[in-house]
Amino acid sequence: MILLHVAAFALYAAAAWALWPGSGATSVPRRVLPPAALAAHALAAATGVVTPEGLDLSLFHALSLVGGLTVLVAWATGALASLPGVGAVVLPVAAVATLVPVAFGSAHRFPYAGAPWATAHIAVALLAYAFFIVAAAQALVMTGLESRLHRGLAEGTATPPLLTLERALFRLIAAGFVLLSLALASGVLFSEELFGRAFQFTHKNVFAVASWVVFGLLVVGRWRYGWRGRKALRWILTGTLLLILAYLGTKFVVEIVLGR
């Protein structure tokens, strides 16, 4: 199992190098390395998360899953190909994330692993996080590109027009908002069926709802007022930070700080 994690780390690192501007890598490793890293990461995650006692969704396995899903979204949506700078952000993070469960293993069984709806709820929520993290990375890279263009600095690599990238960015946000809405709705309406208890306004749920409100306002602001650039970036980063605090931040406090 450890070898799978190491292999995923090495492939992510190689993919990050291949996509780095000025690396000199040909199109073949740029196309092949990201899916190869994802395949190795999927196998490594499966051996650690899926156990005979149930799903292990400890903080460190959750970090690994989010890292892998983030690369999957970036690769599947074409963000890695259109903006190599996104790869420079998400690939090294995923490389580290795939080693974290090996270095800091701590079991935390998901008690409702046998319930398909509960597992689907978690999967949709994690996928929503991945969409928003990719959107945040893309927004940061686009802000840098826009700043360079305003200063009259030419880019070393060809990139699509900013308006094209902007449309792709808000498609990511729209998809993430739909997934987050589904995750929140299922958690509120079917909490007892999913987790055996009524919905409560815990710190996790408060942060998640706050993130949903922020992204909802961003979607409306984009549609109604044409928000873009740095204004949109601030909303994207705020919503993403709240979402990270909702799940990973809460798990850190519960599992690491409180030791539960």
Q: Residues 21-65: pLDDT tens digits?
A: 666 677 778 889 999 999 999 998 888 777 766 677 778 888 899
Mean pLDDT of 93-107: 82
> Residue-wise over 70-88: b if at least 16 C-beta within 10 A, else e?
bbbbbbebebbbbbbbbbb
Neighbours of 173 (CB within 10 A): 24
Region 92-108 average pLDDT: 81
Higher pLDDT, 165 or 252: 165
What's the pLDDT score for residue 137?
92
- Tokens matching residue 81: 């190909």
Is the pLDDT reported for residue 8 higher than 90? yes
Q: What is the CA radius of gyration of the chain?
A: 19
Amino acid identity of residue 231, one-letter, is K
Write b or e for each residue in 236-248: b if 16 or more Cβ atoms lie within 10 A of its Cβ, otherwise e: bbbbbbbbbbbbe
Which of 97-106, 214-223, 225-234 is modeled with the greatest confidence?
214-223
How much is the mean pLDDT over the chain? 83
Instruction: Give the pLDDT band of residue 169 (cuts 50, 70, 90).
Output: very high
pLDDT band at 258 (very low <50, low <70, confident <90, very high): low
Spell out the residues 6+ positions from residue 95 whose beta carbon is closer than 8 angstroms to its own.
Answer: 8, 9, 12, 13, 16
- Cβ contacts of residue 4 below 8 Å, gap of 6+? 40, 43, 44, 47
Both tokens assigned to 178: 């739909």
pLDDT over 90 (residue 173): yes
SS3 content of the chain, % helix, strand, coil (to 5): 80, 5, 20
Task: Place 7 in a pLDDT band, splitting at 50, 70 and 90.
Answer: very high
CB atoms within 10 A of CB 114: 10
Mean predicted confidence (pLDDT) in 106-135: 77
Give strand pairing partners of 110: 55
Residue 216, pLDDT score: 95
Higher pLDDT pick, 109 / 222: 222
Cβ neighbors of 149 (< 8 A, separation 6 or more) are 162
pLDDT at 238 over 90: yes
The predicted-structure confidence for 139-167, as pLDDT tens digits, reads as follows 998 888 877 776 655 555 567 788 888 89
Residue 204 pLDDT level (bands cut at 50, 70, 90) = confident
